[in-house]
């Protein structure tokens, strides 16, 4: 089997869709070494133009960063030259991810010329969002016009979560009956092996992801301010809050923490390597996903769950696929800082019940959502799509 993955961002760039694609295909390659996988991406981080990474042949093309880290376009001549070179190989599948990017606009056409089947993979169950309204409007128009037109041309559609499947089949012209290949976790890194803690330890409440407004972090900050008034002083003294990631909101949150005399309680370690994220989550008591826009199913929720964290999450996108309120975590409405506060208070006041939620979530993730299982499911699905 020979596959070409086209995706604008890829390792070493960090982000949800590209990490999903990396883990899925790296695990397919690990389980089935005879599968040949090429990755065509854009050189957003100015690294090697070609390398073999985790068994994948990665071709990186020069590009224009229209919105740094969010939207890029390729330099046309290098793209055409590389596509001509790659077309000499005969693929079984050409796979693109997310309808917002140019790779999805043309990958179906390349697949058709190559004699391969085209696969579109959807992630977010909604149109693009941005903190600047004008940018969001332009992004939505691009998604509706170019994205919808392109998605309708694909032979096969797969999705990272249930809500994404519903959105693309209802609103974006995708063929009915697409396959869910769920977001999963690396169980070798993310598991319930946790450092020994005592009652006098800090209580760590963490967030991992992009530090941007649409992730609901200002609502989370407001919830923390209210939390200070609603827990006992001894509990408040033990609390610390970790915001791991990078983004334009880091400076604002730092200023807000200083303004309220909370600087010693807030930690901003920046972007962490994958293993460092695992270390943080294994030391985290409560993990908060406060997103205020339509998420897919964030990998960080799955990873935190596997590590035994109590999960507090907004009911965004497909998060309810795995977070059932008071069963596998605590689910609150989007843009509801009071709801986040109440969930945190409950988790802190009811540690035994909260630990039960954490154990339920960990068992769910580790039994059903590991990359080994998901990659094998994807491979088996691809086999069924090949000509007999």
* The pLDDT value given to residue 296: 83
Express each pLDDT in 307-352 by its tens digit.
Answer: 999 999 999 989 999 999 999 999 999 999 999 999 999 999 999 9
Classify residue 198: in a domain, yes or no. Answer: no
* The pLDDT value given to residue 16: 78
Interatomic CA distance for residues 210 and 249, integer angstroms: 9
Higher pLDDT pick, 293 / 114: 114
* The pLDDT value given to residue 373: 96
69: how many CB neighbours lie within 10 A of its CB?
15
Are 240 and 330 in a shared domain? yes
* The pLDDT value given to residue 388: 66
Are 143 and 211 in a shared domain? no
Express each pLDDT in 366-384 by its tens digit.
Answer: 999 999 999 999 999 999 9
Are 8 and 131 in a shared domain? yes
pLDDT band at 173 (very low <50, low <70, confident <90, very high): very high
Pairing assessment for the beta strands 63-67 and 71-74 based on DSSP bridges: antiparallel
For residues 123-144, give the mean pLDDT: 84
Are 21 and 95 in a shared domain? yes
Are 362 and 374 in a shared domain? no
Interatomic CA distance for residues 64 and 46, integer angstroms: 12
Split into its structural domains, the chain has a count of 2
| Least confident piece of the model among 39-48, 65-74, 155-164, 305-314 | 65-74
Q: How many CA atoms, within 13 angstroms, populate the side-chain half-sphere of residue 28? A: 25
Classify residue 248: in a domain, yes or no. Answer: yes
SS3 360: helix
Model confidence at 14: pLDDT above 90: no
Rounded to 5°, angle at Cα 232 from 230 and 234: 145
Q: Considering the chain, what is the average pLDDT of its residues?
A: 93
Are 283 and 141 in a shared domain? no
Express each pLDDT in 192-234 by its tens digit.
Answer: 888 876 555 789 999 999 898 889 999 999 999 999 999 999 9
* The pLDDT value given to residue 15: 77
Classify residue 298: in a domain, yes or no. Answer: yes
Report how far apart, in Å, the C-alpha atoms of 93 and of each of 83, 168, 269 are.
15, 20, 40
The CATH number of the domain holding residue 284 is 3.40.50.2000
Radius of gyration (C-alpha) of the chain in whole angstroms: 21
For residues 140-169, give the mean pLDDT: 94
Are 169 and 87 in a shared domain? yes
Classify residue 151: in a domain, yes or no. Answer: yes
Q: Could you write out the DSSP letters of every residue in 282-295?
A: HT-SEEEE---S--
Structure token pair of residue 217: 């972090």
Classify residue 197: in a domain, yes or no. Answer: no
Are 22 and 71 in a shared domain? yes
Q: Name the DSSP letter for residue 49.
A: S
* The pLDDT value given to residue 33: 97
**Alpha-carbon torsion angle 121, 122, 128, 129, nearest 10:** -120
Strand partners, 50: 59
Classify residue 32: in a domain, yes or no. Answer: yes
Are 156 and 209 in a shared domain? no
Are 344 and 377 in a shared domain? no
Q: Which of 123, 96, 159, 122 is nearest to 296 (CA)?
A: 123
Which structural domain, as residue segments, surrounds residue 76?
A: 2-184+370-385
Interatomic CA distance for residues 20 and 303, integer angstroms: 13
Are 133 and 270 in a shared domain? no
Q: Could you write out the DSSP letters of every residue in 225-260?
A: HHHHHHS-HHHHHHEEEEEES-STHHHHHHHHHHHT
Report how far apart, in Å, the C-alpha atoms of 200 and of each of 79, 93, 156, 196, 203 are.
58, 55, 54, 12, 9
SS3 27: helix
Are 161 and 215 in a shared domain? no
Classify residue 339: in a domain, yes or no. Answer: yes
Classify residue 190: in a domain, yes or no. Answer: no
Express each pLDDT in 92-122 by its tens digit.
Answer: 999 999 999 999 999 999 999 999 999 999 9
Express each pLDDT in 243-278 by its tens digit.
Answer: 999 988 999 999 999 999 999 999 999 999 889 999
Which residues does 49 contact at the CB level (< 8 Å), separation at least 6?
43, 59, 60, 61
């Amino acid at each position: 089997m020979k596959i070409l993955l086209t995706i604008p961002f890829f390792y070493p760039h960090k982000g949800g869709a590209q990490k999903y694609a990396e883990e899925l295909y790296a695990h397919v390659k690990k389980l089935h070494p005879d599968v040949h996988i090429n990755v065509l991406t854009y050189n957003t981080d100015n690294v090697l133009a070609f390398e073999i990474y985790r068994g994948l042949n990665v071709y990186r093309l020069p590009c224009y960063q229209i919105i740094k880290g969010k939207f890029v376009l390729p330099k046309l001549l290098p793209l055409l030259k590389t596509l001509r070179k790659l077309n000499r190989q005969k693929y079984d599948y050409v796979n693109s991810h997310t309808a917002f990017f140019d790779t999805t606009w043309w990958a179906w056409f390349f697949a058709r010329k190559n004699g391969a089947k085209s696969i579109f993979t959807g992630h977010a169950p909604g149109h693009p969002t941005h903190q600047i309204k004008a940018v969001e409007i332009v992004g939505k128009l691009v998604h509706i016009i170019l994205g919808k037109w392109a998605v309708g041309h694909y032979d096969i559609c797969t999705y990272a979560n249930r809500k994404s499947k519903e959105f693309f089949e209802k609103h974006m012209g995708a063929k009915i009956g697409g396959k869910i290949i769920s977001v999963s976790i690396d169980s070798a890194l993310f598991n319930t092996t946790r450092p020994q803690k005592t009652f006098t330890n800090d209580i760590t409440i963490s967030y991992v992801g992009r530090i941007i407004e649409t992730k609901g972090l200002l609502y989370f900050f407001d919830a923390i301010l209210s939390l200070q008034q609603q827990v006992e002083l001894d509990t408040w003294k033990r609390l610390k809050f970790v915001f791991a990631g990078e983004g334009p909101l880091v400076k604002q949150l730092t200023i807000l923490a200083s303004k309220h005399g909370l600087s010693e309680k807030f930690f901003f370690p920046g972007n962490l390597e994958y293993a460092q994220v695992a270390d943080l989550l294994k030391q985290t008591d409560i993990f908060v996903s406060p997103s205020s826009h339509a998420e897919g199913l964030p990998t960080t929720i799955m990873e935190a769950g596997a590590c035994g964290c109590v999960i507090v999450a907004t009911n965004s996108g497909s998060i309810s696929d795995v977070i059932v309120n008071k069963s596998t975590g605590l689910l609150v409405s989007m843009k509801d800082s009071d709801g986040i506060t109440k969930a945190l208070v409950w988790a802190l006041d009811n540690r035994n019940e909260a630990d039960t939620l954490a154990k339920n979530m960990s068992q769910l993730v580790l039994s059903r959502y590991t990359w080994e299982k998901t990659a094998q499911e994807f491979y088996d699905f691809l086999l069924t799509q090949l000509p007999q």
